[in-house]
Structure 1
Amino acid sequence: MIFKRRIVVLFGLLVSLVVTSAQAQINQSDPKEMVQELSQTVLKQIDLQREELNSDPEKVKAFADEYILPYVDTPKMARYVMGQYWRSATPKQQEEFTEAFKDTLLRSYSQSLIKLRVSKIKVTRVEEPREGRATVMTDVTQSDGNVSSVIYRAYLNNHTHKWMLYDVTIEGISLLLNYRKIFASEFDTKGIDQVIASLKEKNKV
Structure 2
Amino acid sequence: MRGMMRLKFFATSFSFVAALVLSLGLSMGRAEAASPAEQFIADNVQKAMGILNNTASSKEQKKTEFQNFLLGLTDIQSIGRYTLGQYRRSASPEDLTAFDAAFKDYAMSVYQSYFAKYSGQSLKVTGSNQLGANDIMVKTVTVDPKKPSAKPFEVNFRVQTVNGRMLVVDFSVEGVWIRELERNDFTSYLGQKNGDVKALVAMLKQKAAQQH
TM-score, reference length from structure 2: 0.75
Report what 1:8 is aligned to. Answer: 15
Report what 1:95 is aligned to. Answer: 97
* SS of equivalent residue, structure 1 residue 152: strand
Range with greater deviation from structure 2 (113-122 or 65-74): 113-122
Report what 1:62 is aligned to. Answer: 64
> What is the rounded CA distance, in whole Å, between the counterparts of 2:21 and 2:134 in structure 1?
20
1:76 pairs with 2:66: no
1:184/1:50 Cα in 2 relative to 1: closer, same or farther (>3 Å)?
farther
| Cα offset, 1:43, TM superposition | 5.4
| Cα offset, 1:60, TM superposition | 5.1
1:167 pairs with 2:174: no
| Cα offset, 1:84, TM superposition | 1.0
TM-score, reference length from structure 1: 0.78
1:98/1:65 Cα in 2 relative to 1: closer, same or farther (>3 Å)?
same
Equivalence map 1:45-60=2 (5 Å): 46=52, 48-49=53-54, 56=59, 59=61
Deviations 1:115-166 (A, max 9, x none): 2234332211111121111100011112423311110011111x2x111101
Equivalence map 1:107-146=2 (5 Å): 107-143=109-145, 144-145=147-148, 146=150
Contact persistence 2:22–2:45 (CA under 8 A): no
Contact persistence 1:71–1:165 (CA under 8 A): yes
Q: Structure 1: which 5+ runs fail to align?
A: 18-28
1:156 pairs with 2:158: no
* SS of equivalent residue, structure 1 residue 122: strand
1:183 alignment partner AA: F
Which structure exhibits the higher relative contact order, with contacts defined as CA atoms closer than 8 Å and separated by 6 or more residues? 2
Report what 1:37 is aligned to. Answer: 43
1:94 alignment partner AA: L
1:42/1:165 Cα in 2 relative to 1: closer, same or farther (>3 Å)?
same
* Alignment: residue pair count: 188
Deviations 1:71-117 (A, max 9, x none): 10001101111111111112221121111011011112312212223
Identity %: 24
Q: Structure 2: which 5+ runs fail to align?
A: 25-34
Contact persistence 1:118–1:140 (CA under 8 A): no
2:189 alignment partner AA: E
| Cα offset, 1:186, TM superposition | 1.5
1:115/1:186 Cα in 2 relative to 1: closer, same or farther (>3 Å)?
same
